[in-house]
Chain A
Amino acid sequence: MESVELIYKAVYILVIFGITLLIATYSTYAERKVAAFIQDRVGPNRAGPFGLMQPLADAGKMFFKEEFIPAKSNRMLFIIGPGIAMIVACMSSAVIPFGDMLIIGGREIYLQAIEVNIGMLYIFGVVSLGVYGLMIGGWASNNKFSLLGAIRAASQNISYELAMGMSIIAILMMTGSLSLREIAEQQAGFNWNIWYQPLGFIIFLTCSFAETNRTPFDLPECETELIGGYHTEYSSMKLGLYLFAEYINIFVASAVMATLYFGAYNFPFMENLREAFSDPVVGNNVVTLIGVAVMFAKIFFFIFFFMWVRWTLPRFRYDQLMKLGWQILIPLAILNILLTGGGILLFD
């Protein structure tokens, strides 16, 4: 029995890894297509039909490019930096519930790699480790641009982490649980958290843009000021790891937003649909499979939203960014906690 369990877990891990990497790979393609669409261009269309092979060609290029490690850099930290960024990004996708349970041959299978009762805290903790990758890489390059990028990354991340944590607290006060599966189950049907936490959602959304270093908060790699920011000196696969980690982070941030605020795999009238089937097992499986599709639709919408914003909004100035974080988002997040507390006691 033990070994069967272990094999199941290994399969789960491989599947989650595969999904994460596939989505991150195709996010690069989607980004270029969305950019092209917004700027009224065609976008990549040479490699394969509609340019669908483009991400593979890009990955191949990353592998075959010559790499330089600057003579004056710290070699070991230079290699560890992108490694940390990538490892942390991969680990954060472990606890996301992609669907409810499937019943196959009397066996209940939850479509989630790992269920821990502190799922949200786990993601929050692991994601905030990602900044070490940027800082170590930026410092180890021994380049002034990289160093400036690393300093910006550090102060930006700590500034936005607070407001993010406080918006999670407001959610937690409502759900009373940090387990992502439980949070998802509580939002059955159309009872999504967004209806109760609109302010919290806006804060969380803004902070996740800042934590993933996406425009309008991409100051750490701001190419017009800092060449490439923290990855100025990077080339070949190590640059690839940094870029890839960013897309995985976007995927995880989208999945977390869908789970926390938009009901994860729940969709309206799911109970009616479940009862429409005479066999409860079939009904459950059909609803679960539609739920998985709904979950991915929500995730893809948020990934699209990340790209939409990138090609629409200009970048902030650094002092504006710090001001937004400390003087607007944190007071708003505290206000949100107080409002949520009062609301729960008055109306519940």
Chain B
Amino acid sequence: MAETYTSDFGTILLFLIGSVIFVMLGLFTAKLIRPHRPNPEKLTTYESGEEPIGNAWVQFNPRFYVVALIFIIFDVELAFLFPWATVFGRRELIEATNGAWGWFSLIEMFIFIGILILGLAYAWAKGHLDWIKPKPILPQSRSGIPPDVYRQFNARQEAKREA
């Protein structure tokens, strides 16, 4: 059996190599035959015809940070569910245990999924699943340093980056 595995995934490797060659060939052919006359106007970043303001590589709020965390938890759950699902419906296992196998494994999985559903329900109730946050909550911290100092520091950093 081990031999067939390697040869099957070997074919997938061939597929990968084939698609890489296809992409490179396409890009290379296009490079050979297309005109190439750049000028600074053409190479500016598109921003609805205006001069682009600032840089797009700034710190941004991805908004789906908590969503991504929940995703990872559920994705790991999926990884556990796949092997469970392949053995769950096995006739011979169910018959060998007079049907107890099926109900036992199903209830076991219900409990496992149930814990995750609780997590999802918590995130839902907390409003983490809403894309539009009605009230942005600013984190509060009790620090002895006055906020002005931070603001000045940020402004200095900004000036440095611009220069």
Q: Which residues of A contact B (CB under 8 A)?
A: 9-10, 12-14, 17, 62-73, 79, 83, 86-87, 90-91, 94, 113-116, 121-122, 139, 141-147, 151, 154-155, 158-159, 161-162, 165-166, 169, 172-174, 176-178, 227, 232-233, 236-238, 240-241, 318-319, 322-323, 326-327, 330-331, 334, 337-338, 341-342, 344-345, 348
Q: Which residue on chain A has the smallest CB distance to residue B88?
A: A173
The answer for the CA separation of A69 and B30 in the assembled complex, in Å, is: 14
B: residues with CB less than 8 A from A are 8-9, 11-12, 14-16, 18-20, 22-24, 26-27, 29-30, 33-38, 40, 42-48, 52, 55-57, 60, 62-64, 67-68, 71, 74-75, 78, 81-82, 85-90, 94, 99, 102-103, 106, 109-110, 113, 117, 120, 124, 129-132
17 A-B pairs (CB sep. < 8 Å) = A17-B19, A62-B30, A71-B43, A72-B55, A83-B20, A86-B19, A90-B22, A114-B11, A114-B12, A146-B56, A155-B62, A165-B78, A173-B85, A241-B27, A341-B88, A344-B89, A345-B106
* Alpha-carbon separation in the docked complex, A333 to B138 (Å): 35
Q: Could you tell me the distance in whole angstroms from the C-beta of A119 to the nearest C-beta in chain B?
A: 10
A interface secondary structure, majority = helix
Determine the distance from Cα of A162 to Cα of B19 in the docked complex, in whole angstroms.
28
Q: Taking A63-B34, A158-B64 as given, write out 12 further A-B residue pairs in contact, using a Cβ cutoff of 8 Å, ordered by the A residue number.
A: A17-B19, A121-B82, A151-B64, A177-B86, A241-B23, A322-B130, A326-B120, A327-B124, A330-B120, A337-B81, A341-B88, A341-B106
Residue of A64, A86, A90 touching B34 (CB-CB under 8 A): A64
Q: Which residues of A contact B88 (CB under 8 A)?
A: 173, 176, 341, 344
